[in-house]
Structure formats: structure tokens, C-alpha cells
Amino acid sequence: MKLINVSYLICIFLCGSFSLNAGVPVEEDSLLLKAQDLYEQGDYFEAGIAFERAYFFSSETKTRIQANIGRARALKQTGEFLKARNDLQRSLHLRQFPDLHFVIMYELAFCEYMAGNYSNSAGVLGQIKHFYPEKYDQNKILRLDALANVMSENFIDGQERTLELIMKIDLDAETADSLIVRTMQLFCECAQPWERSVKTASRLSTFIPGAGQAYAGYPGKGLLNAGSQLVSLGLAAYMGYNNLFVSGFVIGLGMFQSFYFGGIRQAGYLAEQRNLKEMGAYKELLKDFIIGLDD
């Protein structure tokens, strides 16, 4: 009797011990559900950790991909796009679940865009077009592709995607026509800011003081610089005329060389700044237009 009892207890012990490990797959689903709960409650930081926990402890590929997508979405909410991008890349090679693979690629493209890697974003969207041509034709993807191309200054593709997007949106013929005309106007080469050459600006200021600044779009600064050079040269000449040769050399010519060489550097810098400013404003204009194309 005693022997039987002991045998039973040993069996219970062994069953209990093994059930610790056997219980893990059950926990996998609960981990994912818990993470989703946290996400829905708006606790994105803890949701990100919970999704990662589900990813780490899961042995199922599908669960891992789902957890990875969940984590990326949680990280997106906290503004950690680069981290989300890095995490998403772990599942990029898993193509046995096309629906999930497509979501991974879209999220990756979105995170790349939000992290400022516009060319990478356009590259991933190009892969979506290649692998999932039937799914590529969605408004959100076309919009993201148009934006990525605009931000990476690939205006031809940007225009093409924008036109595709307008065709996809359910609009009456009149509105669609006006949007197409507006797109053509906005993307027209004549609407794009012309790029000022930094070298030309510097060279102009080398030979004609103030001309480089005027070329860069700052004629006032050009006048000020040319005037300063003229005054300092005048001072040097005036001092020399009054037999103050040393003072004329030190004060007059000293000031002149500062204004002269400073003016050359300033012209190049201003040209560069003007290019950035105008291109930034142009891209913002296109971005607002593309985002404003409502579904």
C-alpha cells in the first residue's frame, strides 16, 4: 500500500515537473493577448515589451511575426521609428505567410519614411510592388510611395504615384480633373526651385563684391557686404593720404580683408541655405497636397 502511494506521488511529481514546460505554448497566446490588451489601453511602452516577450518565447513563426508587428506598432506610437525598423527587419525574410509579410513590409516602409530614410522607404515600397502587385494598388501604399519619392527628390516617380492615387480615389470627374491639373502644375519642372551653385556664388563674390549674395537671393546682404568693403578700403586710402601708412594698413586693410574673404564664404553659405530652404518649402507643398488627397 505504502509503495503504491509513493509511486503515485512520484508520478504526480514527474507530471507536474513536465507540465511546467508543457504549459509554455498555452502561455504564448496569452502573452500576445496581454500585449494587445496593453496596446489597446494605450500603454505603448509596456505593450512594446509585452509584444517582444511574446516574440521571444514563441516557437510559432506566425505568432512571432504577429508579435513583431505588434511591437513595431507600439514603438511607432512612442516615436521610436528606427527601433521599430530594426525589429521589423527580423521578420522580413519570413515569406510563408504572405499577408503578414506584406504587413511587415508596409510597416517597414512606413518606419523608414518616418525615420527620414526616404530612399530606403521607396526601396521597400518597390519590393512590395514586385512581390505583391495586387496589394500595392492601395491608397495608403500609393500615398506613402508618392511621399517617399517626393522627399527623396525623385519628382518624376512622385508625380506618377500621385496621379495613380488620384485615379484610385473615388472622385467625381470634375474634381479628379482639377486634381490632375493641379498635380501637373505642382510637379512641373517650372515649379521646382532652381538650384543655386555654391561655387558660382563664391566666384561671383570673389570678383564683384556682394554679387554672390545677390545671386544667392540676398541682395540686401550683398549690398551691406560690398558697402563694408568700400568703407574699409576708403578708410585705408584716407589714412594713407594723411601719412598714416601703418594705421591704414593695419586698420583699413585689416578690416577690408576680413570683409572681402568673409563675403566670399558668406555667398557660398547663403546659396547653400537658400537651396535647402526653397527645396524644403517645395517638398512641404507637395507633401501637404498628397496628404490632403482624401480617401
Partner 1 sequence: MVQYLKPKFLFIGLVICLQLNLYGQEKFTQEIRFINHMLNRQNFDEALFLLENFHPVTTDQRDTVNYLLGWTLYGQKELRTSAHYLALVSEQSPFLEKSRFFAAYNHAYLRDTDDAVTFLNMFDSSFSDEVFYMKNFQLAGISLLDRRMNDFDALAGSFTGTLSITATEEQRFRDYRQRIVDMPRRSPFLAGLMSAAVPGLGKIYAGKTAEGISGLLYVGAMMAVSLDFYNRFGGKSPLFWISSGISGIFYVGNIWGSVTAVKRVQNEFNYEIDQRILLDMHIPLRKLFP
Nearest CA among 115, 113, 95 for reference residue 104: 95
* Interface map 71-110 toward partner 1 (x if CB under 8 A): ------------x--xx-----------------------
What are the CB-based long-range contacts (under 8 Å, 24+) for 43-51?
Answer: 44/74, 44/75, 44/77, 44/78, 45/74, 45/78, 47/74, 48/74, 48/75, 48/78
Q: Does 245 bind partner 1 (CB under 8 A)?
A: yes
Among 52, 107, 112, 145, binds partner 1 (CB under 8 A): 52
Q: Is the sign of the CA dihedral 63, 66, 69, 73 positive or negative?
A: negative
Residues in region 111-140 near partner 1 by CB under 8 A: none
* Interface map 204-243 toward partner 1 (x if CB under 8 A): --------------------------------------xx
Q: Is the sign of the CA dihedral 261, 263, 266, 270 positive or negative?
A: negative
- Report the alpha-carbon distance of residue 286 to residue 96 in Å, rounded: 38
The nearer residue to partner 1, 87 or 107, going by C-beta atoms, is 87
Q: Does 16 bind partner 1 (CB under 8 A)?
A: yes
Among 244, 272, 278, 289, binds partner 1 (CB under 8 A): 244
Among 163, 169, 230, 251, binds partner 1 (CB under 8 A): 251
The nearer residue to partner 1, 254 or 280, going by C-beta atoms, is 254
Residues that bind partner 1 (rule: CB under 8 A) add up to a total of: 29
| Look-up of cell digits 546682404 | 221
Nearest CA among 38, 40, 30, 104 for reference residue 66: 104
Instruction: Please state, in angstroms and as integers, the Cα–Cα distance from residue 82 to each residue in 45, 69, 71, 127, 149, following that order.
Output: 15, 14, 12, 19, 19
Q: Does 17 bind partner 1 (CB under 8 A)?
A: yes
DSSP 292: T
Stretch that binds partner 1, among 11-19, 93-101, 104-112, 225-233 (CB under 8 A): 11-19
Q: Which residues bind partner 1 (CB under 8 A)?
A: 5-6, 9, 12-13, 16-17, 20-21, 45-46, 48-49, 52-53, 56-57, 83, 86-87, 242-247, 250-251, 254
